[in-house]
């Protein structure tokens, strides 16, 4: 008796899937009329978000961040460098963003992903302009030695809101970062004490330490379609509704940046204000998630 119903359900499911593939925008618009999305989220709701600190044992700081299916792995490696003459009391941060072929079908093997340099530039601009890290904290000996922080972010799954997830993984990795102990070797150069076996030497910095973070930036990407605003879009939503707005606020809800890379929908003042309001709510959620991740790491 159950077979006909099961067959009917399967037939309906196939028809819905076929309609979604053939007419994706119409499919979404039918849901938008009910103020709901195909994944059952309300328009302003972000996907489930998780953070795991210390994901890479060999790194000085690392984190794995997930927003929905979008997954980013961030790792920081610290190296001693000679500071520039212009900024003798400051260290540096170098950021690279990687999109290997495993992260998305649209990334071809042997070809660099088109969006990777854009995300890398956004991340660098955001982290440096937000003032999250005081580069003077990375100084060791004025004019002679300072820290270079190499931040590499790997996209393991690209299902929309890449910048939001990448920024979250970067912030989490810096929260986990420990500055290594360094000493002077026989040649008078500053080197890592553990690597050079100089644990008996007087260290330049006495112990491993955390870096102080202030004005921590968090972001929310929204897609605009007609009069609708969809927060935290999936890759499918981004491809169908091509007007994207990314708002970055710091932990005090001050605006750090607003990015709108073209699109067919005009970003009216009211729409931008709504996006900022959604971002303020999202910042509170992300702060709580990050605090829980840090607390969990301290307990472990």
pLDDT in tens, 110-125: 777 888 999 999 999 9
Q: How far apart are CA 300 and CA 295, in angstroms?
A: 9
The pLDDT of residue 136 is: 94
Question: Has residue 262 got a pLDDT over 60?
Answer: yes
- What is each CA distance from 135 to 49, 93, 268, in whole angstroms? 29, 8, 37
The pLDDT of residue 189 is: 67
The pLDDT of residue 1 is: 40
Q: How far apart are CA 141 and CA 60, in angstroms?
A: 20
**Which of 57-71, 86-100, 103-117, 216-230 is least confident?**
103-117
Q: Please name every residue paired with 13 in a beta bridge, in sequence order, or none if there are none.
A: none
pLDDT in tens, 223-258: 998 889 999 999 999 989 878 999 999 999 999 999
Residues 6+ apart with CB under 8 A from 88: 142, 143
Question: Has residue 129 got a pLDDT over 90?
Answer: yes
Q: Cα-atom radius of gyration of the chain, to the nearest Å?
A: 23
Q: What is the mean pLDDT of residues 80-89?
A: 92
**Which of 96-100, 205-209, 276-280 is least confident?**
205-209
Q: How far apart are CA 161 and CA 190, in angstroms?
A: 41
Neighbour-count burial for 263-300, b at 16+ CB within 10 Å, e otherwise: eebebeeebbebbbebbeebbeebeebbeebbeebeee
Q: How far apart are CA 71 and CA 145, in angstroms?
A: 35
Average pLDDT over the chain, rounded to an integer: 87
Q: How far apart are CA 254 and CA 9, in angstroms?
A: 50
Q: How far apart are CA 92 and CA 83, in angstroms?
A: 8
User: What structural domains and CATH numbers belong to the chain?
Assistant: 41-295 (3.30.230.70)
Q: What is the mean pLDDT of residues 168-179?
A: 96
The pLDDT of residue 4 is: 47
Question: Has residue 198 got a pLDDT over 50?
Answer: no
Q: Are 160 and 104 in contact (CB under 8 A)?
A: no
Question: Has residue 173 got a pLDDT over 50?
Answer: yes
Q: Residue 299: left if φ>0, alpha if ψ -120 to 50, beta else—which one?
A: alpha
Tokens 């690209």 locate to 158
The model's confidence at residue 217, banded by pLDDT at 50, 70 and 90, is: very high
The model's confidence at residue 2, banded by pLDDT at 50, 70 and 90, is: very low
């Amino acid at each position: 008796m159950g077979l006909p119903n099961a067959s009917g359900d399967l037939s309906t499911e196939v028809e819905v899937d076929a309609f979604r593939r053939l007419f994706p925008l119409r499919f979404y618009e039918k849901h938008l009329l009910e103020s709901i999305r195909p994944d059952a989220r309300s328009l302003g709701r972000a996907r489930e978000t998780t953070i795991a600190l210390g994901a890479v044992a060999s790194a000085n700081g690392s984190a794995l961040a997930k927003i929905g299916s979008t997954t980013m792995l961030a790792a920081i490696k610290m190296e001693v460098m000679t500071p520039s003459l212009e900024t003798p009391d400051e260290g540096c941060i170098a950021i690279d963003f990687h999109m290997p072929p495993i992260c998305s079908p649209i990334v071809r093997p042997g070809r660099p992903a088109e969006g990777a340099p854009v995300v890398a530039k956004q991340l660098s601009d955001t982290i440096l302009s937000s003032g999250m890290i005081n580069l003077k904290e990375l100084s060791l000996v004025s004019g002679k030695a300072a820290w270079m922080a190499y931040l590499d972010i790997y996209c393991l799954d690209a299902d929309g809101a890449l910048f939001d997830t990448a920024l979250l993984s970067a912030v989490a990795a810096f929260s986990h970062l420990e500055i290594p102990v360094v000493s002077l070797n026989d040649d008078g150069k500053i080197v890592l004490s553990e690597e050079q076996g100089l644990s008996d030497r007087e260290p330049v910095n006495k112990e491993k330490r955390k870096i102080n973070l202030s004005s921590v930036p968090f972001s929310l990407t929204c897609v605009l379609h007609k009069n609708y605003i969809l927060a935290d879009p999936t890759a499918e939503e981004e491809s169908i509704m091509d007007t994207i707005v990314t708002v970055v606020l710091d932990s005090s809800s001050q605006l750090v940046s607003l990015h709108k890379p073209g699109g067919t929908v005009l970003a009216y003042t009211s729409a931008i204000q709504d996006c900022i309001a959604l971002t303020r709510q999202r910042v509170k959620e992300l702060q709580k998630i990050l605090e829980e991740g840090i607390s969990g790491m301290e307990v472990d």
